[in-house]
Each structure stands twice: as C-alpha cells, then as structure tokens.
Amino acid sequence: MTGYAPSREFVHRRRRGAELVLMLLALAVGIGAYAAVGLGVKGRVPADLVGYSGWLAALALGAHVVVRLTAPYADPVLLPVVTALNGLGLAVIYRIDLASRTSLSAKQLMWTTLGVALFAAVLLLLKDHRRLQAYTYTLGFAAVFLLLLPLVPGLGREINGARIWIGVGGFSFQPGEVAKVALVIAFAGYLVLHRDALALAGRRVVGIDFPRGRDLGPILAMWLVSLAVLVFQRDLGSSLLFFGLFLVMLYVATERPGWLIVGGALFGAGALVAYSLFPHVQSRVEGWLDPFGDTESFGQIVEGLYGMAYGGLVGRGLGQGEPWRIPFSYSDFIVAAVGEELGLTGMIALLLMFGLIVERALRTALICRDGFGKLVATGLGVVFALQVFVVVGGVTKLIPLTGLTTPFMSYGGSSMIANWVVIGLLLRISDQVRRPLPEARPLTADDATTVVRMR
Amino acid sequence: MNKPIRTMAVGCMVLFLALLLNASYLQFVSAGDLNDRNDNRRVRDAEFSRKRGEILVAGSKVAESVPSGDVYKYQRRYPQPFKYAHATGFFSYLYGASAVESNQNDVLSGSDSRLFVNRLVDTVSNTQPEGGSVSLTLDPRAQTAAFDGIQQLGSGTQAAVVAIEPATGRILALVSNPTYNPNLLASHEFEAVESDWKRLTSAADEPMFDRAIQGVYPPGSTFKLVTAAAALESGEYDPGTQVPGTATLDLPQTTKDLPNFSGSDCGGDTVTLTQALMVSCNVAFGALGMELGAGALENQAEKFGFGQRYLDGLGGQAVSVFPEDPDAPLTAYSAIGQYEVRASPLQMAQVVATIANRGLGMVPYLVDEVRAPDLSVLDKTSPEEMPQRAMSASAAGELTQMMVEVVDRGTAKTAQIPGIKVAGKTGTAQSAADRAPYAWFVSFAPADNPEVAVAVIVEDAGVDRNAISGSGLAAPIAKAVMEAVTGP
C-alpha cells in the first residue's frame, strides 16, 4: 500500500474566501437562470425575482457561514458547485412550471431549504465523522428497513410502475434515497472492521485473488437485497446503484479486484435472469435499443432525444424550447430539459460539475488518514458518480433507461435532502483531513496504523 | 486503500467521459437526423411559426405564408389550390408536408445550409429567420390548359398530364386529377383538418395520389414508339421497311392470336413501318417485338428512363418497368405496351421529349430557382443530360417524321394544330376486363423545332367503354397544352 503521505511542510489553506467568491458566482448562475426563464417564457423577469433571489442568497450564504464556523478547512469547491446545480435545477423546474401550470418550484425551494438546514445540522452536530462508525449496524438495519418500507401494504405507493415510494399524509417520500447514505456509512463501518478477513484469505486463479467461499456471505446478502429491490420494487436503477456501491467499497477496502469480478458476474447473472423473467426489464432494453420502433411506449425517451437534438450546440435558450413535451422533464428527465434549452454546452457544463463533485469526494478519500473516512468518502463519491451515470446515461440513450433522480436537480424532497446530507458529510471529512495536525507527527503515519479515537 | 481509490477515480472518469462523448454525439452528430424525423413536433412548431418561403410559378405565388394572428403567427395559403396541388403539395401541422413543400422544405423553412448567413444575421438582429422562395419550371399557360382540359371531361375524371420542354427537361405542366385543396390541410383548425384528411385519404378516387409521377399504367400503343425506336436503332429497319400487316398475328407456343384493335388488317399483308405506326398496327409491332427480342426492347426502354428514378426536385417518382424475360408471345404483347409493361405519365412524356430532342433525353426537373429571402439567387438548376443517349439523331428524326404522319393522316388527327407540325401517338390500353381501358396520348410540337412534349392519360372519365380512345379523350387535352405553349 502506497499511502498518500502529505509532507510535513504542506499545510492546506482554509480557502474560505475562495469559496465565498465561488458562491457568488454560483448564485449568479441560479438567479440568472431564474430571471432568464421568466424573460424567455413571458418576456419579463419573474415578479418574485427579488424575494426569490434573497431567499436563495440567504440559503447559500447561510451555508457558507456554517462551513466557515464549523469546518473552516473543508474543500472550497463542493459547496459552490452544489449551489449552482441546485439553483439551476430550481430554474429549470420553474420553467416547466410555467409551461404546465404547476407549482413544483415553490415546493422544491422548500425542500432545498430543508436540505440546507440538514446540511448545517450535519456540520454543527457531527464534530468528527469517525463517530458514525459506532452506528454501523444501527444504520445498516435502518437502511434495510427504509428499503423495505415501500413494500408495507397501505404505506407504500406505486408510482410509474416502481414501488419505491411511501406516502405519509399528503407527502410522498422515496426512502431509498436516504437508505443510500445510511448504506454507505454501514458498509464503511462493516468493511473497515472485516477487511482483513476479506482481503487475506483466498486463492489465486490465473493471477487474480479470489475470496474464500465463506467470506462471500455479505456480498451474497447484498446481492439478494439488490435483487429484492429489483423484483419487488421493480426499480432497476436503485438495484444497480446499491449493488455497484457495495462492490466498489468492498474492492476499495480489500484492494482485491477479484471482488469486482465475482460481483460483476453475480450482477450479470442477476440481470440476465431479470431480463428473461420480467417484461418491464425487457421493455426497458427494447426502449434503449430502438425507441423509434414504438414511439407510443417509448415516447419519453424519444421526446427527450428530440429535445436534446433540438437544443444542439448552444441550446434554444432558457424558456424558449419545448421541454414540457418530455414526460417528467422536471424529475427524471430534467437533464434532457437542460440539454434542450442550454444545449450541448450546458450539458457539458452540467456533467463537469457533477464530475467535479465526484473528483472532490475521491480526492478527500485519498488524503483521508483513517480507513473509515476513506471508505465513506469513496462510497459517497462513487454512489454519486453511479447515480449520475445511470440517470444521464439512460436519458441520453447510452444505457437502458432506469428511473433515478438527478442529484440536486430533479424535483423531489427525499433526493434533495439526502444529497445535501451527503455534501455535509463530505465537507466534514474534508475539513478533518485538511486541517493541520495539532502537533508534529512522525512521517511513518500510514493509514493502516493510524490510531483512531473512537469517542 | 489508495490504489483502488485511484482505480475507482479512473473508473468514474471513464463513466463521465462516456456521458460527455455520448451527449456530444447526440446533440451534435445525430441532431440533424433527429430533427428531420417526421414526428418531431418541436421542429414542426418552429417551422410553423416562421415566415415560410413562397413557391412561385412564372413570378406569381402558388403558395405563400400570410400573417395569421394566432399562436402560429403565419398561415400557409394556396391561391390556386386545385390546379397546383400536386406540384406544391401541402404543408400541414398534423400531417407533415408533401411534394415541393416537402422536397424543398430546407429552403422554404429557412434551415438550408445555403441560408446560413441569413440565419446568422437573423440571430444577431434577433428577428425570426425567414424561408427562401422556390420558383418552379411550370408554365401557367400549359398548366391551365392541361387542368381545364381535364375538367372539361368532368371534375371527377381520373387523368394526368405531364408536359416537358424537350431541350432542357423543364417540366411545363404537372396535373393530376382528381385533385384536392391543400388549404384545407394547412388550416390551423386542427379538428377540421383531421376530418378533411380522413376524407381525402380514404376517398376511392385517391385525390391526393399524384397520378402524373406516382402512378404507373399499361402504356398501350404509346409504347410502340419504344418498339419503333428499338427497330430503327437496330439498323435493320427504316421507316419504309415492310412489316406484317395482317388482321391477326399467330403467336408461337399458344393457341391465342394477337389481333389488331380494329379487327381488320393494317392496309395489306405487309405494310411499311410508317404505315404500321400510323394505324397503330398491333400485328406489325407484335411481330417486330418478337423479331427484335425482349432484350432489345428492354434495353431501349431503359435508355428512355424505364427502371430508373431521375426526376429532380420531387419525391415519390414511380419506376416504370419493362417485364423481365417474357417468352415470345408475351414479348409480342409487351411490344405493344400490354402484359406487364408499366409506365408513368412522366415516363411517357420523357419518351416523346427524348425523341423530340433528337434522341438525347434531358433530366426532367421542377425546381427552377431557389432564392434567399433577400431575393438573391442561391441556386438555379441547369439542364442535365440523361446518363445515356436513347437514340441516334437520325433515327430520332425518322421516328419524328413517322409520328407526324400519325397526326396528319393516322389515328391522331384530333391533335392537329393549324400551321404547326405536330408529332404524336395514341394509345388505348386494356388493363383488366372489368375496368375501362386507359386512354393515352403522347406528342410534341412543333415537330421540326420542338418546344413542348406532352403525355396525357385518361384513366377513367366515366364515359361509355366504346367511347374511350386516346384520340378521342386524351389527344384534345394534349393539343390544348401544345397550343398554349407554342401559341403567341
């Protein structure tokens, strides 16, 4: 293991000033997009522009102040990027609102507020990410419980064929989004304890270390959970996400590519069986290979493709395309709406921003000094990357379409809250790893031998 | 654990790279194809709310966009809807476009690459892009003569006329009847459009079907021109060569005989080739066909354009065919334009235009000029020759002389124009026993310096079976078109 050992002289700067400047830019993106939507659709700026901007600015600057106070060494790029994405998402939802006479953007602003509040709560209440390791099993069971909730009769709701929602009162909620965060922490806690057993025992076949049969327990269990999500909740995307996440964390913890091969084989087998057994999986594949063969059934994909093609290189301009033609252009297909109105240029900018979040998460994982923190940061980064890949890839016809939300952009409270919590956790870890060490430590510091104070 | 994290970072980068490349492919490379798809409502919406270019015939508008005052801003209008329907086509929100409206859509809608600079200027000055205009080769006199000629037989007459300028290939008249009113389909009253569309597409007489270029029919005796051309081209025949002229032709391998249309002989046991064409002698041309062989006939037909799509500026051209490898008796039938020989009115017009142009066919075209919104000429079609010469100039001259005899003294006296030499050929083609024969007439004038070649088919005029003949029904229409073009 070649650890990333920062030289003793190198001290990360706080960079809070840089963050503030970037925050202002991000706000300009969000508010500018909001104003542009009004201009594009109605020819004048939205009547509530001042109030809206004030609210958004208060949220953004509030978040910045919380970071300044509680995590002064945290990564300065994450928060601005997320703010820009969130602001852009709000503007696009507002654009769809104007076309289809809904008021989702107001609700989404409320969810954003709640998300930022939870983000602040994470930073204020969680002083050290390693404390989360104590809740490994609690969070693990909570995650499984949350995942199974939609299957409870009377509570679960089936929307668009996927039973991944619960309804309480007038609200519907997607517990899987929250379960995702809990799972990352639970996996990290479990793996950091059991990585030796998983890593050391095994046999070597054609140059690759394969794990022992008895160590396959957890991976098989996770495989079954993923399959259950696929079969009972008919949610291809979440199933892929959870299993992929687990595999990657297992691989990172044990450093054995064999796990990827075993897991990949398991997933492939599961996918094949699912394909041959379930018509809805077959239909997804058909819609991917030839959506134009049946534009009645695959109208969403087709309209999405038309929208993005219509956008071309520079887009029609906010408010000047017809993204309301795409069903669910405010949630799953919001990326298509961006592609239509902001063009390939906007699309690339969007993907780069998502990529930046992943890059920052993995960078944090690299310089993190404790195994648990590494695994959590890697898990959060990878789950983010996988989610973006699955949903954007599905919308742009790179892979079969599966329903997943686009982080920070799609309309939906559960996703918004969960992703703000993810950013809170990443900033907490990042603050921890960039903070100068209290006293000089010997250079031999290696993550394998770091003493971690648990409480 | 850093090594696998780095590996994962590379993995994530690959995922994002795939997304970026795919998005670029989608929005840059394949965007054009997606935008061109018929059910893409975005593109149609945009085209609908834009000032679409005009379609012009001799300087006057046959299709224009006028401000509509509704959400689509412009309404497509066809000032002479019935006469020009099959040339202009329609432009409909619900059902797309047809004919020139469809074929020249890029120019008319303003999205043509030749209009790029205009679009750029429009973008900078923030005005809606406008479409360019398309001028057709049609001659309003010829078009009107053809249209009125058919209407005189009754407005329900199923007929088609194509007139071509032999020296250039310009299409001077393009009429198909029954016709329709494209204004109905261009309307923004979508419910009415829907019911009109249903009515027009389900009507038994197919008013939206362009018989002139999309229909193929047995050409009957007009095909004898192709057989005669093959004979003259073979070098073994000239207009004076004696050919069989009996009342019936004994066909090999079958007990059936091939009779003449009249039932009597053609003027003797043997007659000259000129005489055979003059009286449209089935026996003579049946025998000639067997003598020359199916291969020679097919070869000659292809030189005239059979088996090919060559029309420029209009889609949907039906391919005219000569049957594959007919046996001897069927070759005889094919030589007189029966059996499975099928030709579109456009194709027969092309045959006579080729003969008129001394054996050299010109590619027929309908779009003369394309202009930008500022009236600068973007493109002007220049006449083009067909891939191969159909006949030698001398053989074409001989055939022309024979066709003049047909009009002067033969079956086509109804097409005579005082003071002008007309070359022509009649045809009355049997199809099925239970349907009326097709009346054909093909001609060109003046014979010594041709200005116009015409093909007329009357498919069904609702007249008595015995009254159907090329000379009776079709020739007067052709005559009117020729007079319109050659007249003062």
Could A252 and B41 be called an inter-chain contact, meaning their C-beta atoms sit closer than 8 Å? no
B185: nearest Cα among B174, B169, B201, B170: B201
Average pLDDT (A448-453) is 62
The 3-state secondary structure of chain B reads: CHHHHHHHHHHHHHHHHHHHHHHHHHHHHCHHHHHHCCCCHHHHHHHHCCECCCEEECCEEEEEEEECCCCCCEEEECCCHHHHHHHHCCEECCCEECHHHHHCHHHHHCCCHHHHHHHHHHHHHCCCCECCEEEECCCHHHHHHHHHHHHHCCCCCEEEEEEECCCCCEEEEEEEECCCCHHHHHCCCHHHHHHHHHHHHHCCCCCCCCHHHHCCECCHHHHHHHHHHHHHHHCCCCCCCEEECCCEEECCCCCCEEECCCCCCCCCCEEEHHHHHHCCCHHHHHHHHHHHCHHHHHHHHHHHCCCCCCCECCCCCCCCECCCCCCHHHHHHHHCCCCCCEECHHHHHHHHHHHHCCCCCECCECEEEEECCCCCEEEECCCCECCCCCCCHHHHHHHHHHHHHHHHHCCCHHHCECCECCEEEEEEECCCCCCCCEEEEEEEECCCCCCEEEEEEEEECCCCHHHCCHHHHHHHHHHHHHHHHHCC
Contact criterion met (CB below 8 Å) for A104 and A96: yes
User: Cβ separation of A351 and B20 shorter than 8 Å?
Assistant: yes
Q: Do A393 and B18 touch (CB under 8 A)?
A: yes
CA angle B320, B441, B404 (to 5 degrees): 115
> What are the structural domains of chain B?
214-367+384-486 (3.40.710.10)
Q: Inspect the interface and report whether the beta carbons of B37 and A348 lie closer than 8 Å.
A: no
Contact B35 A310 (CB under 8 A): yes
Q: Do A322 and B18 touch (CB under 8 A)?
A: no
Q: Which residues of B are less than 8 Å from A322 in CB distance? A: 41-42, 45
Q: Which residues from chain A sit within 8 angstroms of residue B33, using beta carbons?
A: 309
Task: Give B68's pLDDT tier (boundaries 50, 70, 90).
Answer: confident
Residues of B in contact with A375 (CB under 8 A): 1
Least confident of A72-86, A194-208, A313-327, A333-347: A194-208
Model confidence band, residue B84 (pLDDT cutoffs 50, 70, 90): very high
- Mutation target to probe the B interface, by most B beta carbons within 10 A, among A194, A360, A389, A399 is A389
* Inter-chain CB proximity B19 and A389 less than 8 Å: yes
Residue A173, pLDDT > 70, answer yes
What local confidence, expressed as pLDDT, does residue B27 receive? 93
**Closest residue, chain A, to B32 (C-alpha):** A309
Distance from CA of B155 to the nearest CA of A (A): 40
Is residue A116 over pLDDT 90?
yes
Chain B residues with a Cβ under 8 Å from any Cβ in chain A: 1-9, 12-13, 15-16, 18-20, 22-24, 26-28, 30-35, 37, 39-43, 45
Of the partner residues B12, B19, B41, the one whose CB lies closest to the CB of residue A382: B12
Please determine, for residue B89, whether its predicted confidence score (pLDDT) is greater than 70. yes
* ipTM for the complex shown: 0.91
B344 to chain A, minimum CA–CA distance in Å? 33
Which one of A307, A375, A381 has the shortest CB-CB distance to B42?
A307
> What is the average pLDDT across A432-449?
69
Residue listed under structure tokens 């001028």: B135
Secondary structure letter of residue A168 according to DSSP:
E
Please report the pLDDT score of residue A452 as a whole number.
62
Judged by CB atoms closer than 8 Å, whether chains meet at B37 and A306 is answered as yes
Are the beta carbons of B12 and A392 separated by less than 8 Å? Answer: no
CB contact at 8 A, A391 and B23: no
Nearest to B27 among A309, A385, A393 (CB): A309
Residue A160 has pLDDT above 70, yes or no: no
Cβ–Cβ below 8 Å for B1 and A255: yes
Express each pLDDT in A391-424 by its tens digit: 999 999 999 888 788 999 999 889 999 999 999 9
CB-nearest partner of B27 from A347, A389, A398: A347
Residue of chain A nearest B22, judged by CA positions: A398
Chain A residues whose beta carbon lies within 8 Å of the beta carbon of residue B13 = 355
B8-52 pLDDT, tens per residue? 999 999 999 999 999 999 999 998 888 878 778 888 777 777 788
Q: Which residue of B has its CA nearest to A393?
A: B19
Position B288 pLDDT exceeds 80: yes
Residue B15: closest C-alpha in chain A: A389
Asked if the model's pLDDT at residue A5 lies above 60, the reply is no
Percent residues over pLDDT 70 in chain B = 96
The pLDDT value given to residue A165: 79
Residue A8 has pLDDT above 60, yes or no: no
Known catalytic residue at B221: yes
B5, B36, B128: which to substitute to probe chain A, counting the most A Cβ within 10 Å?
B5
The alpha carbon of residue A360 is apart from the nearest alpha carbon of chain B, in Å, by 10
Interchain CB distance below 8 Å, B16 and A1:
no
Question: What is the model's pLDDT at position B257?
Answer: 78
- Of the pLDDT bands very low, low, confident and very high (cuts 50, 70, 90), residue A2 is very low
pLDDT tens, B225-266? 999 999 999 888 888 888 888 878 878 877 777 887 777 788
Q: Minimal Cα–Cα distance from B473 to chain A, Å?
A: 48
pLDDT of residue A278: 81
Query: Nearest CA of chain A to the CA of B5: how many Å?
Result: 6
Instruction: From the candidates B92, B135, B221, B443, give the one annotated as an active-site residue.
Output: B221
Predicted local distance difference test score (pLDDT) of residue A11: 79
Q: Cβ contact (<8 Å) for B1 and A371?
A: yes
A with B: how many residue pairs have Cβ under 8 Å apart?
Answer: 134
Q: Is the pLDDT score of B126 beyond 90?
A: no
Q: Which residue of B has its CA nearest to A192?
A: B1
In this complex, the residue of B6, B23, B43 whose CB is nearest that of residue A396 is B23
CA dist B469 and B437 (Å) reads: 8
Instruction: Supply B118's token pair.
Output: 């205009």
Confidence of residue B338 (pLDDT cuts 50, 70, 90): confident
Nearest CA in chain B to A341: B27
Cβ contact (<8 Å) for B20 and A252? Answer: no
- Which site among A298, A320, A392 would you substitute to test the B interface, given the most B Cβ atoms closer than 10 Å to its Cβ? A392
Say yes or no for a CB contact (<8 Å) between A310 and B24. Answer: no
Q: Which residues of A touch B24 (CB under 8 A)?
A: 344, 348
Q: Do B22 and A397 touch (CB under 8 A)?
A: yes
Q: Which residues of A touch B35 (CB under 8 A)?
A: 306, 309-310
- pLDDT for B356 equals 93
Number of Cβ within 10 Å of residue A292's Cβ equals 12
Mutation pick from B14, B25, B27 vs chain A, by most beta carbons of A within 10 Å, is B27
Residues of A in contact with B6 (CB under 8 A): 366
Q: Is the pLDDT of residue A346 over 90?
A: yes
